[in-house]
Amino acid sequence: MRKTHCRDIVVIAASAGGVSALQTLCAGLPDDLGAAIFIVQHVSPSARSMLPAILGRTSSLPVLHPADGEAIRPGHIYVAPPDRHLLVKRGHMLVRKGPKENRTRPAADPLFRSAAVAYGSRVVGLVLTGTLDDGTAGLLAVKRCGGIAAVQDPDDAAWPDMPRHAMQKVAVDYRLPLDRLADLVTRLTLEPAGPQPPIPADIELEAHIAEQEMISMTEETSNNSMSGRPALITCPDCGGAMMEVRDGPLLRFRCHIGHAYSPATLAEAQGEAFEQALGMALRTHHERVRLFERMAENAMAHGHHNAAAKWTAAAGEAQSHADLLRAVLSNQSPAAAIAPEAD
**Model confidence over 248-288: pLDDT tens digits?**
888 899 988 889 999 888 988 888 888 888 888 888 988 99
Beta strands in 66-153 (DSSP E): 77-79, 85-89, 92-96, 123-127, 148-152
44 is catalytic: no
Given the residues 42, 76, 256, 285, the one annotated as active site: 42
Per-residue pLDDT at 220? 44
15 is catalytic: yes
The overall pTM is greater than 0.75: yes
Given the residues 8, 109, 133, 134, the one annotated as active site: 134
Summarised one tens digit per residue, pLDDT across range 115-146 is 999 999 999 999 999 999 999 999 999 999 99
Summarised one tens digit per residue, pLDDT across range 16-54 is 999 999 999 999 999 999 999 999 999 888 888 899 999
Is residue 219 scored above 50 in pLDDT? no
Q: Is residue 106 reached through a cis peptide bond, with omega within 30 degrees of 0 on the bond before it?
A: yes
Find the DSSP H helices in 131-252. 136-144, 161-169, 181-190, 201-211, 219-222
Burial label for 1, CB within 10 Å (0-12, 13-18, 19+), is exposed
Per-residue pLDDT at 3? 64
**Which residue has better confidence, 245 or 164?**
164
Question: Sign (positive/negative) of CA torsion 8, 14, 19, 25?
Answer: negative
Which helix or strand (DSSP H or E) is residue 230 part of? strand 229-234
Given the residues 8, 15, 114, 156, the one annotated as active site: 15
The 3-state DSSP class for residue 145 equals coil
Summarised one tens digit per residue, pLDDT across range 279-336 is 888 889 889 999 999 999 999 999 999 999 999 999 999 899 888 888 887 876 444 4
At residue 124, what is the residue type?
V
Per-residue pLDDT at 223? 45
